[in-house]
Every structure is written in structure tokens, then in C-alpha cells.
Structure 1
Amino acid sequence: MSSIHFFEKGEGQPLVLIHGFCETSRMWTDFAEKLAKDFRVICPDLPGIGDSPISGEQISLEEVAVILEEWMDANEIHQPIVIGHSLGGYVTLALLELMGSRLKAVGLFHSSSYADSPDKKATRNKAILFLKKHGVDKFVSSFVPPLFPEGSSEEFKEEIAWAIEDGKRSTLSGLIAFTGAMRGRKERLDVLRDFSGPKLLIAGTEDGAVKIEASRKQKDVFTHYFELQGVGHMGMVEKREETLELIREFALSSTKH
């Protein structure tokens, strides 16, 4: 039996929502409540995050995909629509490479099919050193606020505080492991291009983590592409209702595919 912890709401077409880095499945609570009217919404904690265990400080996205495939089989999650935020999008693409047409549709939410640049890999290395020296709480407290647009800290004060507390539910091993997994991931643009099902990308024009230029560069491989004006890396918080409807409409149209 899979050790993946998750919650689910609703019934019908499975819709799997995968959280990002320094996040847990709880980030999707509001979305799950609203989307459960139309779908069986399932939100897992990735290994080492929230209530899902991990052994050691190393894991690859390919290994995560195998774990999630086994978890889906064990819980009779068949032909799911899978949408991932940031790291969750990288996991979604690894799942797509593994499962192919066994996924009905995929969505990337502030994410990318490209590999890390050399500069980004260097930043990941520094993050691992910081984590090992200072621990989870200090890392998360410094990592989360810049995910929101510059100058928006007062507007989203409560949301940032909540996101920091949620991120602190990650284990040290989990954060180190996934920092390394993101650093080592390969480009999966061809995986996306070869998939014949519906494909969604939601991008923020002020996203500091996934630059809008990178999103625009790969937009042609998606069947559904949306830019959120003035939005950073946290569209599900910054533009909650708008992004909720984008996901609902994409998922509804995908069930007819």
C-alpha cells in the first residue's frame, strides 16, 4: 500500500492537484471544496512533505512519478486530469512521461517543461547548503514571501503568513531531496508535445520563479494557455477566483475530449 498521504472530495472524473515546493496538499483546500461539485478532487502530499514520509535526502522526479503511479493504482484513480503548481508541474510532467495516455489531461500552474539553467542549478546548491545549516523554518520564512509580487507583502500579509506555516510542515529531508530533484530534472518539452490530450499552462507576468519569457517560449505546445497580468508565482492566491475558473473550465472541457 502506498505511503502517500492525501485528501479527496467529490466524485466522478478524477482531478489530481499536486502542490509545489514549500507547500503541502492543504494549499488546495479551497479549490478542492469548490471543484468537488464537478469532480473527484484528490490532493496528495509529495514524499517528505506534510504527512507523507521520505527515506533519505535524495529522490528523482522519475522515482516520485513511480510512487504516485502506484498510489493512483492503489486508490483506483484512473484516467485522471493532473494539474501541478511549480514543483508539482515538474512532477506532473514526469508522470506524463511514465503514464502517457493513461492521463486524460495535464496542467502546469506557474511551472515549465524546461530543465534548470546553470544559474538556477547554482541557486539550488545554495538552497541545499542553507537548509542544512539553518533548517526548515528559517528557509521557508525566507523562501515564501518573494513568491508574491514585489510590493504586495501588505496586500497578501495573511496569505503569506499562512503559506509560511504550511511550508513549515515539510521535512528537512523532503526539502533537500526535492531541491536536488528540481536541479537534476531534464527537459520534457517533447513529452508534452507528443501527448495528444488537453494541456494547460497558467503563467504569471510577474513570476520571479518561472519567468514569463520561458512560458511564452513553450506556449505553442499547450492547447490552453493563459497569462495572469501582474501576478507572481502564487496565482491560486493572488487571483483565486480567476484561476479556479480556469482550472474548472479546462477540466470540464477535458472530460469531453
Structure 2
Amino acid sequence: MIAFTQQGSGPALILIHGFCESKEMWKTFSEDLSANYTVYCPDLPGFGESPLIEPHISMEEAAVLLQDWMEENNITKPIVIGHSLGGYVTLALAELMWDGLKAIGLFHSTAFPDDEEKKQTRNKTIEFIKKHGVDKFVESFVPPLFSDQHRAEQADQIAGLIQFGKKSSQNGMIAFTAAMRDRKDRFELWKTFPLPKLMIAGELDPAVKIEASRKHQPYATHYYELIGTGHMGMFEEPEKTLGMVIKFLKHVAK
């Protein structure tokens, strides 16, 4: 079962949250974009209100679950934008559905796989979660996603994200950490996907290095960099990032 919110009317727009996040992170975006779009914000299995029954999951399996959810809810030709982990799922969806989508967007995400250093970090994350549990991990994980200059001013947002993150299941967090570690390289897909593509990158993103993001730029319809911003541009630069998404959506609608 995929829990989700639905708001507005018009062409379908799906916003997919990242790791240790939930559909609530898109509340402001959904409210603003629902004037012209039917905005769907699903909880990935194991996060928010969506259960993950199996002990393991892959990006491909998550994409199939979302495709089934779309069919159940008569969602056709959606624009799909994913944050971080949500971007990895978006790319898997693009591979699965191809022109069954209308456009895709990566929001602080990448088509590249984990390198060896990042894979070791994922393994340490799994061990930490097994040893210390969800709450302790989320409390340590969320604040560094924001750049130093935004962290203090975003204290309330960070506290809210921590509370929503604590709704994540331990099984879901471990399963998706492994799925991120083991995901395949989809940069060739990014290069060849024939429909509009958006990328929003943070100059100071600790999770997706700006150098990697810039390699996506030649193949993006719309590419943006947020100066002085970390991994959470929708909170660190809400008006600016919303404007970027709106500009992309208007291009797709042409």
C-alpha cells in the first residue's frame, strides 16, 4: 500500500521524497503547484505511512510499486520529480516506463551510482541503525543536510523533518540504504532519456557533490545551481527553487 496526498487539478505531477523523509516535506510545494497541477506526494515503502513488508527492496522494485500505484489511481503521463533517494527512484521509473512519463526531475540527486567510499558509508549507516535505532540516526542525519549558513535559521524546519523522519521504519531505512548502495549507474539513461529533464543542485550539497551534478548539465533541459545551499534547497531556498520548478513545468506544458 502506498500512502499519498493528492491536491489540485490539471496535469499529473508526482513529487517523491528522499531518504528518512515523507510526503509532508512537499507540503508548501504541493499547495502552490496545485493551482495548475494535480500534485501527488507518495510515501515510499518503509517511510511515512507506507509499510515495507519485505526485508529488502531495490530501486527497480520501488519503481514497479509506484507504477502499480499509478495504475490503481489512474495517474497517466505524469511529470515525476524526486529529491535525493526520490531521484534514484525517478530514474528507475524512467527506465521502466520511458515515454509513459511526461518529464523527470532530479532535486539534489544524481544518475551516478555510489562510489566505493560512499558504499562503505552506507554499510556504516546500516550498522548504526541496527545498533542505535531510527530516532538516534535521524537526529544525527538531518541537520548536516543543510548548509552551515542556513542551519540556524532553519531550526524549526529541521525539527519538523526530524519528527517526520522518526516515522520511518527501521526495516525501511536499512532496506533503502542497501538499495542506494547497490543501485546501478543510470547516467546513460539520463543522457538518452528523450523527454524534458530538470536538475537542481546545491553548491554545498554534502550528499551529491557539485562536480558530479555539473556532469549532468549538458543533458538537462533545465539545470540550476543553488549557491551556498546544501542538500535541502526546497527549505533553504524555497522561493527560488519553487520558481525553478514552475519554469520547468511551463516548458513541459508547451
Question: Which residue number corresponds to residue 58 of structure 1?
Answer: 56
How far has the Cα of 1:163 moved from its partner?
1.0
Q: Which moved more, 1:214-223 or 1:29-38?
A: 214-223
Q: Report the secondary structure of 1:163's partner residue.
A: helix
Q: Report the secondary structure of 1:113's partner residue.
A: coil
Choose which of 221, 225, 228 in structure 1 pairs with 2:226. Answer: 228
Number of equivalent positions:
254
Question: Which residue number corresponds to residue 201 of structure 1?
Answer: 199
Residue 70 of structure 2 aligns with an amino acid whose one-letter code is M
Choose which of 147, 150, 155 in structure 2 pairs with 1:149. Answer: 147
Q: Distance in 2 between matches of 1:249 and 1:224?
A: 9
Q: Distance in 2 between matches of 1:82 and 1:23?
A: 17
Question: Which residue number corresponds to residue 31 of structure 1?
Answer: 29
Q: Distance in 2 between matches of 1:134 and 1:151?
A: 29
* TM-score between both structures, scaled by the size of structure 1: 0.97
- 1:8-87 equivalence runs, <5 A: 8-87=6-85
Question: Which residue number corresponds to residue 237 of structure 1?
Answer: 235
How far has the Cα of 1:151 moved from its partner?
4.6
- Cα RMSD, aligned residues only: 0.8
How far has the Cα of 1:57 moved from its partner?
2.7
How far has the Cα of 1:23 moved from its partner?
0.4
- Check whether the contact 2:150–2:236 (CA below 8 A) recurs between aligned residues: no
Q: Report the secondary structure of 1:152's partner residue.
A: helix
How far has the Cα of 1:166 moved from its partner?
1.1
Moved over 6 A (4+): none
Residue 238 of structure 2 aligns with an amino acid whose one-letter code is R
Q: Distance in 2 between matches of 1:153 and 1:223?
A: 31
Q: Tell me, which stretches of 5 or more residues in structure 1 are unaligned?
A: none
* TM-score between both structures, scaled by the size of structure 2: 0.98
Q: Distance in 2 between matches of 1:162 and 1:151?
A: 19
Q: Distance in 1 between matches of 2:159 and 2:199?
A: 27
Q: Distance in 1 between matches of 2:194 and 2:227?
A: 29
Q: Tell me, which stretches of 5 or more residues in structure 2 are unaligned?
A: none
